[in-house]
Amino acid sequence: MSKEEEVTAIKKKRRFLRKSVTDSLKSVDEALSLQDNHARIHVLKDSIASKWNDLQDVQASLCTYLEYTEIGQECESHREY
């Protein structure tokens, strides 16, 4: 697999993980609006933490493929997210 294909695959995985984290956060908001839903909130919190760690790993692996000039832009995008 070429470097460009690997970068594309990593960015695709990152896009999936970001959507997954965002969807989980929406689920937390919904769960918080309901009373006596502490168990579901705890499960969602653990899920978000796990997905966030995966996202951090993907971001780190992406940075190993980027040129120095590209890293700043990618990192800024990740910080904004």
Q: How far apart are CA 68 and CA 10, in angstroms?
A: 17
CA angle 9, 26, 73 (to 5 degrees): 40
Q: Give the rounded distance of the alpha carbon of 27 from its chain centre.
A: 16
pTM as predicted? 0.68
- Give me the numbers of helices (H) and strands (E) for the chain, helices first please: 3, 0
Ranges of residues in the chain whose predicted pLDDT is under 50: none
- Which tens digit of pLDDT belongs to each residue from 49-63? 999 999 989 888 887
